[in-house]
Amino acid sequence: MKHPAQFSEDDLIATFFAPLAGEAGLRLRDDAALMQPPPGRELVLTKDLLVAGVHFFSDDSPAAIARKALRVNLSDLAAKAAEPLGFLLGLALPADWTAEWLAAFAAGLGEDAANYRCPLLGGDTVRTPGPLTISVTAVGAVEAHKMVPRDGVKAGDRIYVTGTIGDAALGLKLRRGATADQDWIGALSDADAGFLRDRYLLPQPRLALRGALKGFAHAAMDVSDGLAGDLGKMLRLAGMTATIELGRIPLSGAARRALQMAPRLIEAICSGGDDYEIVCAAPPAKAASFEAAAAAARIAVSLLGAASPGEGALSFVDAGGEAIHLVRTSFQHF
Amino acid sequence: MKHPAQFSEDDLIATFFAPLAGEAGLRLRDDAALMQPPPGRELVLTKDLLVAGVHFFSDDSPAAIARKALRVNLSDLAAKAAEPLGFLLGLALPADWTAEWLAAFAAGLGEDAANYRCPLLGGDTVRTPGPLTISVTAVGAVEAHKMVPRDGVKAGDRIYVTGTIGDAALGLKLRRGATADQDWIGALSDADAGFLRDRYLLPQPRLALRGALKGFAHAAMDVSDGLAGDLGKMLRLAGMTATIELGRIPLSGAARRALQMAPRLIEAICSGGDDYEIVCAAPPAKAASFEAAAAAARIAVSLLGAASPGEGALSFVDAGGEAIHLVRTSFQHF
């Protein structure tokens, strides 16, 4: 392939990104994208920024980096019960980029854009003296008045979470391989280690939960900064709190085996972040319908507990009702 | 003010950015923004990424940095004849940010968001080990089928440009203060120098030209990477070319005086970038109406020449018809 110095910005866009563009992207040859909003729908807009060394590792595969950047945004749309319409990509490339790297990045991005029916609409590519930085803005649509808000929890609502929690936090620890973690890392099977690493690398946006959320949930958000912190935030917005029994937090087999070897991992599991599952609240009268709709959509959901009015912090208890103290409840960006 | 370490991401958003949020921004407390697209309108979406040391200077005033980040996106909307609806902000902050800096950044941003009626809808704030990086995605609306494309130039169309060209490129040279430029920098009046610096620092998105563009233009784009390169690109997309007499390029008094002192500056003026003016094409039969509509909107427009079919590069000639060779025609991002 050509050397980076041989690409103008236009070449780069035409070579790598124009093939990913949807109709609204105008072949990426205009100043902007042009979109006909679906009639009767409202638009849901979200934006996430990912920085090499902070949100992913520079030496992760370029396809995985691209897919993660798109998927974390799709996870936000999923939590709002919105259907993806497309996305804009901002890419700040460090000086050492290669055409091979960018081709693999675009291929991974294109695969996900096709799978999630979320075409590229436009964007911007610039150089940076700093780390690779990726900005994705995703646009989705939802029927009028059907977006599921974050602040809608009511007293008595059942609190559910999708999938399993903590895998990505353990996958990140595996990826870092700190000396303090060698006790359980060394004892984990290759299959378990691979599973956990993948869960860190490739979020699974729960878009299939849209129908269940729209039909039956009062509130929802995606769990990106840790279950403890994010659920606490969702409850606090509505003046609610909850007591969650640790045994109710859904764990994968791999996470369960790691936790058996190192019980201190419960902290990382509850508050480590990068789960990209959905935590939501449904009224008791609709709980069975919510569960049935989720099952029909093949999305596993687990009942965590119930919301009750109160200003107190969300608390976690063990099987005997003893409170568990978490040192920190969520990933801190600052 | 508090020390940066005392701000969680939520504090930071609540303190600095929530006051800028429009209704669709849901007080920046949700995963996403929710927008009712104006009935009968199409959406125009654009995204620009700005990196400290590449697109602005780290020690520019925080208000000016913020305003430039928003305005370069508004300039894209203006070129498409779209009305701003709102924007999303992605901010990657280096470790040395201060609350004072961010307060000034947010104040500048808020001032422009209010002036341009373009509220903050949402976004993301992260830390970066690299330079300050700002990603703005702007959303606009235009009546159905009224977006002015980049690729619509027809043979015989009159080519117009707004405002004056080259000021920002000279302002950037002033800001850099290279030894090679001391001949004209040293001789420039303070008023001229201040004017040129401001033109680099604060683009003036030509949103008032919307009506004239919608009514009478076949094609338009904003001039961000230099008139020669950008106009060349617009013409090439339609299989057109043009010969532009240098004397027709609109120059400010300050640029004219600098050019008199250093005739080599014609290169930077034609191809330096950061003008954020609009270059557009209107059919001869509508040229007078276009000019009248621009005048009514108080936007100065200058006739550069006419488009003619051809694959050849856009050329510039002097008053005697002699061709002027530009070493490079546009700002190169790579």
Of the candidates A303, A307, A288, A196, the residue with the CA atom closest to the CA atom of residue A241: A307
- Position A327 pLDDT exceeds 80: no
pLDDT at B240: 97
In angstroms, the CA B30 to CA B120 distance is 13
CB-side neighbour CA atoms (13 Å) of A308? 9
pLDDT (tens digit per residue) in B94-117: 999 999 999 999 999 999 999 999
Residues B301/B206, Cβ–Cβ less than 8 Å: no
Identify the CA nearest to A22 among candidates A4, A8, A2, A36.
Answer: A36
pLDDT score at B329? 67
How high is the pLDDT of residue A151?
95
Cα angle vertex A311, ends A306, A317, to 5°? 50
A270-296 residues labelled b (16+ CB within 10 A) or e (exposed): bbbbbbbbbbbbbbeebbeebbebbee
Can you give the pLDDT at residue B259?
Answer: 96
Q: Is A41 helix (H, G, I), strand (E, B) or coil?
A: strand
What is chain A's percent helix, strand, coil content, to nearest 5? 45, 25, 35
Q: What is the pTM of this model?
A: 0.94
pLDDT tens per residue across all 334 residues of chain B: 678 778 888 888 889 999 999 888 888 889 899 998 888 899 999 999 999 999 999 999 999 999 999 999 999 999 999 999 999 999 999 999 999 999 999 999 999 999 999 999 999 999 999 999 999 999 999 999 999 999 999 999 999 999 999 999 999 999 999 999 999 999 999 999 999 999 999 999 999 999 999 999 999 999 999 999 999 999 999 999 999 999 999 999 999 999 999 999 999 999 999 999 999 999 999 999 999 999 999 999 999 999 999 988 899 998 888 988 877 766 665 5
Token output for A258: 């790691």
Q: Quick check: A26 and B55 CB within 8 A?
A: no
CA distance A187 to chain B (A): 34
For the stretch A54-66, pLDDT in tens is: 999 999 999 999 9
Q: With an 8 Å Cβ cutoff, are A46 and B31 in contact?
A: yes
**A91 in contact with B, Cβ within 8 Å:** yes
Looking at this predicted complex, what is its ipTM? 0.93
Rounded Cα gap, residues B278 and B222, in angstroms = 4
pLDDT cut 90: percent of chain A above it = 84
Please give the residue of chain A at the shortest CA–CA distance from B5: A334
pLDDT at A3: 80
Predicted confidence (pLDDT) at residue A1 exceeds the cutoff of 90 = no
Chain centroid offset of residue A296 CA: 22
Q: Which of B45, B90, B129 sits opposite A35 (nearest CB)?
A: B45
Check if B133 contacts A (Cβ < 8 Å): yes
Beta carbons within 10 angstroms of residue A179's beta carbon? 7
In this prediction, residue B23 carries a pLDDT of 83
Residues A148-157: tens digit of each pLDDT: 999 999 999 9
pLDDT tier for residue A9 given thresholds of 50, 70 and 90: confident
Using CA coordinates, name the residue in chain A closest to B221: A31
Q: Which domains does chain B carry?
A: 4-143 (3.30.1330.10), 158-324 (3.90.650.10)
Asked if B194 contacts B297 with a C-beta cutoff of 8 angstroms, the reply is no
Q: What is the CA radius of gyration of chain A?
A: 21
Residue of B nearest to A34 (CA): B44
Kindly state whether B237 is in contact with chain A, defined as any CB-CB distance less than 8 angstroms. Answer: yes
Identify the CA nearest to B98 among candidates B224, B5, B170, B173.
B5
H or E element in which residue B17 lies: none
Rounded CA-CA distance B273/B270 in Å is 8
Parallel/antiparallel/unpaired status of strands A120-127 and A243-245: unpaired
User: Best mutation site among A6, A11, A12, A47 for testing chain B: the one with the most B CBs within 10 Å?
Assistant: A47
For testing the chain A interface, which of B2, B16, B23, B45 should be mutated: the one with the most A CBs within 10 Å? B45
| Closest chain B residue to the Cα of A126, Cα to Cα | B333
**B residues 48-67 lying closer than 8 A (beta carbon) to A:** 48-51, 53-55
Q: What is the separation of C-alpha B331 from the centre of its chain, rounded to a whole number of angstroms?
A: 13
Distance between CA A136 and CA A88 in Å, rounded?
Answer: 6
A30 touches chain B (CB under 8 A): yes
